[in-house]
Structure 1
Amino acid sequence: MKQNIQHYDVLIVGAGLAGLTVALSLPEQFKIALLAKQDLNTCSSNMAQGGIAAVLDPQDTVAEHVQDTLVAGAGLCHVENTTHILSNAAAAIDWLCQSGVPFTYHEQSLHLTREGGHGHRRIVHAADHTGWSVTQTLQQQLATKSNVTCLTEHRLQQLYVEDQRCYGAELKDATQQSVQVFAKYVILATGGTGQLFELTTNPETSTGDGVALAWQAGCRVANLEFIQFHPTALALKGSKTFLISEALRGEGGILRNQQGERFMPAYDERLELAPRDIVARAIADQIQKQQQQPVLLDMTHLEKAFITEHFPSIYQHCLEQGLDISQQPIPVAPAAHYACGGVLTDAIGHTDIENLFAIGEVACTGLHGANRLASNSLLECMVMGRDVAHAIVQQDEWQVPKAEAELVQPDFTAVSAQFELEDDFDVVTLQQKMTQYFGIQRDFAGMQYLYAQLNHWWLMTEQQYPMLLTAMLMVHSALQRQESRGTHFNRDCPQTLAEAKMSVIAAPAQQAVPQPEVTSLVC
């Protein structure tokens, strides 16, 4: 059989906002391949509702935006990288405006809304479908670029690495045939890990492949235990998981329990605008108290015209489900939303492997720390994407990311005999167990069992599923942390330690150390 071998200057794995930004920011003399697991629209960026955080109000400052991000990140943000990314927000917004993105305006200026954790109105948006408006606009530009080949329905299988340098990747096309792609630069923009859980706002392509394959190729990964659960996903029986934007709370939405009582005053003085981890845990607590019934997000005190103008997509979607949100409260529950950790990089996306960049949600720059501040993610995609393009054009010297943390190497060859484990692996069971034992609230006993089960599956299954490996790395990271911080809440360790430390897992090429004794995991 004839081999399918292709050559490019740049291979971009992932066609969301991060990947699109790189493809459109590189000069046309570069031959580029843009890979998508399905079509170009199947990505988290396309589904983003709220907006993009940027300091555009004269009364606001980048320093305040940085400070809000650090507070939400619960001590784990990388200050220098955070400052770099947020300082480039205004330029990124200007780039989108020049590209023709139809943002919402108020009088002659961009309309700015506010979301949880932000001290000012600084969310640029296109009604309540910002991600869709941005990606559709950029896809139209992409269609005019003769130097970009879109490899839709292609899946990344492995990265080609030799002497700590990446030179391409093996792909599988829609017919499951192998495609060998050789490239001077490879950019991982593969998105998040939401599909490792039962309920998620992520598309079906968000299976964490980039983390697993980068780690296998020799990259460190960091802070994988920090999974942000969006507090408010639509919780209607028989309805698919659908994000109810934080912007609704930013514009006055009130959270109530089934008795109609506003409950956030009992949890945080910032009420509905507290950081997402606090709101999500409060909602989870209320749901547990009311026999797993969802809580209610009440918008009925606002004018219907205001709701339909600011949130047309959400209003229409709920109306199609038989719910008029101007007259009825919205039943909501938390859903897996955003991975705060990922492949360890600097602010430009450099990994441990030369010529391999990681950008967007798959990367861990330190911007998000232990909990992402709302609407910083689309911004990160654009700033990193533009910076990567500049670095490639300039052929900058490769900068290996720094991490002041102890490296921990998991051992995937031993399984504890104390648990009764299942032999047969399937994705649905993986999602159920991750949700049960690695959700909003966790404990050591549940995570120890989960880690043993994941290990057992890894040893028993002939096919090595990247999402299974990513799940193992995530749980391993969590078992190292003897505290609760940000989105990681351990019932056995509810306190937060004085010193914030990253969780960094060494690449598999490094010498392994024994996996932790489960009996020693006490706080």
Structure 2
Amino acid sequence: MPDFRNFDVIILGTGISGLASAITAAEQGLKVGIFSKSGDLEDTNTYHAQGGIVGHSDEDTPQLFADDILKAGDYLNSREAVKILSETGPSLVDEYLVDKIKVGFNRKEDGSLDLTREAVHSIRRIYHEKDRTGKAIETDMLNYVQKSDNIQIFPFHMAIDLISVCHHSKDPQARYKENRVIGVYILNCETKEVKPIFAGAVILATGGIGTIYQHTSNPAVATGDGIAMAYQVGASIINAEFVQFHPTTLYHRDAENFLISEAVRGEGAILLNRHGDAFMKRYNPSLKDLAPRDEVARSIYMEMEKCGTSYVYLDTPHMNIDLPSHFPSISEKCMEIGLDISKDPIPVVPAAHYFCGGIKVDMNGQTTVPGLYAVGETACTGVHGANRLASVSLLEGLVCGLKTGRHIADNLENPGFDLRRSIPAWIYPVNEESVDPILIKSDTHTIQALMWNYVGIIRSPKRLSRALSDLNYHSHRIDRFYREAGITRELVELRNSVLTATVITRAAYNNKKSQGCHYMVTRDGSFEKS
């Protein structure tokens, strides 16, 4: 376990936003400690992103880009955040990812960057590396970061709780001072030892919440850790009802969580029901298969109900492109289960994909609690509004990460020795119970089914009321289990999952109007549009 005096900045997470924060903080001479609960540093949502990241296009303007973001977000977006992102984002992609880190985005024969298009984008403006853009960005950024003398990375180390002055200091006078986050209790997942680690700034870059749902495109690490820790320390969380469901994940028992990128529809694939009917023209006659994700996901959900099926088809055989060349990962995955996408349509089903809400921050990553920052999917700048535009999440993670690292360097305030000394060591249970993995797995599956059925693509006051009641029961039982049992990663993830699920469900229950990816049905089956 590293010594607490080693760090100016603690970063929790190794996706694009956390790594971008580390780069600019280290460039300013700060000592950075990055902690990942996984042994695989690439085990992030960034790595699994297929489509791409918005870059520079000669056809584009900041206003045109901003208009597309606002349209996808149902105009609930923060105008200021959208303006900053649309004006600065593409140039930062070129400066950092293309020129400095040298990510190998696809290029045309003339050497220019190849651009693709996804739903709701007016033009082609998306940089990509076939259908594995996230993998290319994650791998190259990690390699770049690992060369820095000012950055240390610790796999198998999981944050349990944020350390704050008012909540943890043994100095009785501390409770009368402004609350401030000064560090993190970190669990060594291999030794089960917990130690306090201190820094002048803590950045939550913990990613998404997808695995609190039964069906998700997210990796298993996406358990809402940042949301749960921020909630417990009193940070504001906003727009939590807006959970985006990706319309198309591969439907097959041997292909759980595998995303079929929106870029496939951007290149011409069409959704079909079991009867071969291209049904999106009935739900959105103008945009059809390139409608916003929330509309497409709901349309698929309704079409499955009408037809009595568990999936629909994505018609790829009619596309006039070399599919294995354009989408090698998708093609290879489908071949593994006996599907040739140049000949066979792909069975697809919607799944929880992206959390549009999160910890309330400004574009410098500052939360409502001093010393605590958040970037990436766990944060909410307001860029996405009620629904996210495709290929903007990686862009937001990069831009806000870079800005956050710089802001911290200009405003760093490290905790003094007396304050650090007033923080107690982690308290282990006196009569520590052993952790039964079957109980954790069962509770996890219960929460996932509850969220999918009651707080999923289509919601109602009755379903949400039932969800709150059930989550309240599980929260008390899981909290007691957490306090009495020996600490493990799986147990902490369970606690975080039920806390995050409760935050999302409460927000959904309190918002009776449908907007973006929050869709509320009334008792008579109709819905309220805000």
TM-score tier (shorter): 0.7 to 0.9
Shift of 1:302: 2.1
Deviation sequence 1:188-244 (CA, Å, 0-9, x none): 001110010011111111011111111111201001111000000000233222000
Q: 8 Å contact 2:26–2:148 — kept in the other structure?
A: no
- The 8 Å contact of residues 26 and 32 in structure 2, kept in 1 or not, is answered as no
1:42 aligns with 2:43: yes
* 1:218 maps onto 2:234 in alignment: yes
CA distance in 2, matches of 1:333, 1:77: 28
Aligned-partner SS, 2:368: coil
Asked if 1 retains the 8 angstrom alpha-carbon contact of 2:450 and 2:467, the reply is yes
> Which residue number corresponds to residue 283 of structure 1?
300
Give 1:3 shift: 11
Q: Does residue 207 of structure 2 align to residue 187 of structure 1?
A: no
Corresponding residue of 2:420: none
CA–CA separation in structure 1 for the residues paired with 2:310 and 2:46: 30
**Counterpart for residue 334 of structure 2:** 318
- Equivalent residues of 2:365, 2:375 under 8 A apart: yes
- For residues 366-445 of structure 1, what are the structure 2 equivalents within 5 Å? 366-395=382-411, 426-445=443-462
Per the alignment, residue 76 of structure 1 pairs with: 76
Q: Among residues 481, 505, 508, which one is paired with 1:478 in the alignment?
A: 508
SS in 2 for 1:370: coil
Summarize deviations over 1:44-80 as a string: whole Å, max 9, x none: 00000000123x2222211011111111111210001
Q: Determine if contact 1:3/1:179 at 8 Å carries over to the other structure.
A: no
Instruction: State whether residues 230 and 276 of structure 1, in contact with CA within 8 Å, keep that contact through their aligned partners in structure 2.
Output: yes
Confirm or deny: 8 A CA contact 2:227 2:500 kept in the other structure.
yes
1:105 maps to a residue whose letter is R
CA distance in 1 between partners of 2:458 and 2:219 (Å): 23
User: Shift of residue 21 of structure 1?
Assistant: 0.9
> Do residues 126 (structure 1) and 129 (structure 2) align?
yes
CA drift at 1:290: 2.1
The answer for unaligned runs of 5 or more in structure 1 is 398-422, 498-523
8 Å contact from structure 2 (residues 243, 354) kept in 1: yes
SS at match of 1:172: strand
Q: In structure 2, what is the Cα distance between the partners aligned to 1:193 and 1:373?
A: 18
Q: Which residue matches 2:314?
A: 297
Q: Distance in 2 between matches of 1:442 and 1:430?
A: 16
Aligned 1:45-124 pairs, distance under 5 A: 45-54=46-55, 56-94=56-94, 95-98=96-99, 99-106=101-108, 107-124=110-127
Deviates more, 1:181-190 or 1:99-108: 99-108
2:141 aligned counterpart, secondary structure: helix
Q: Does the 8 Å CA contact 1:208/1:467 hold for their aligned counterparts?
A: yes
Question: Does residue 196 in structure 1 map to residue 212 in structure 2?
Answer: yes
Distance in 1 of aligned mates of 2:253 and 2:188: 36
Deviation at 1:459, TM superposition (A): 2.0
Cα distance in 2 for partners of 1:3, 1:280 equals 45
SS where residue 34 of structure 1 aligns?
Answer: strand
One-letter identity of the residue aligned with 1:261: D
- What is the Cα deviation at residue 154 of structure 1? 1.4
CA distance 1:146–1:426, shift in 2 (3 Å): same
CA distance in 2, matches of 1:87, 1:14: 27
Q: Separation in 1 of the partners of 2:243 and 2:361?
A: 18
Q: 1:325 to 1:144 in 2, by over 3 A?
A: same
What does residue 18 of structure 1 align with?
17
Of 168, 182, 186, which aligns to 1:171? 186
The alignment partner of 2:278 has SS state of: coil
Distance 1:147 1:59 in 2: 40
Larger helix share, 1 or 2: 2
- In structure 1, distance between residues paired with 2:255 and 2:217: 13
Measured in 1, the distance between the counterparts of 2:300 and 2:71 equals 21
Q: Give the Cα separation in 2 of the matches to 1:44 and 1:116.
A: 20
1 CA distance for matches of 2:185 and 2:155? 15
Shift of 1:90: 1.8
| CA offsets 1:334-382 (integer angstroms, 9 cap, x no match) | 0100000000011221101112110000001100111001110000010
Q: What TM-score do the two structures reach when normalised by structure 1?
A: 0.87
Q: Note if contact 1:172-1:178 (Cα within 8 Å) is conserved in structure 2.
A: yes
Q: Calculate the aligned-residue CA RMSD, in Å.
A: 1.8
CA distance in 2, matches of 1:6, 1:285: 56
**Structure 2 residue runs without a partner (length 5+):** 166-177, 414-438, 483-494
State the one-letter code of the partner of 1:456. Answer: Y
Deviation at 1:166, TM superposition (A): 1.2
Contact 1:254–1:297 under 8 Å retained in 2: yes
What SS does the corresponding residue of 2:8 show, helix, strand or coil?
strand
Q: Report the secondary structure of 1:474's partner residue.
A: helix
Given that 1:228 and 1:340 are in contact with CA atoms closer than 8 Å, whether structure 2 keeps it comes out as: yes
Cα distance, 1:6 vs. partner? Answer: 5.5
Aligned residues: 469
- 8 A contact 2:216–2:351 mirrored in 1: yes
- Aligned match of 2:250 in 212, 234, 253? 234
**Contact 1:340–1:371 (CA<8 Å) still a contact in 2?**
yes
Structure 1: distance between partners of 2:6 and 2:24: 20
Q: Identity of aligned pairs, percent?
A: 38
CA distance in 2, matches of 1:170, 1:88: 35
Give secondary structure in 1 for the equivalent of 2:466: helix
CA drift of 1:4 comes to 7.1
Structure 1 letter corresponding to 2:233 = A
Of stretches 144-153 and 210-219 in structure 1, the one that deviates more from structure 2 is 144-153
Deviates more, 1:92-101 or 1:370-379: 92-101
Letter in 2 for 1:448: S
Question: What is the CA distance between 1:292 and its match in structure 2?
Answer: 2.7
Aligned residue in 1 for 2:520: 490
Give, in whole Å, the separation in 2 of the partners of 1:235 and 1:292.
11
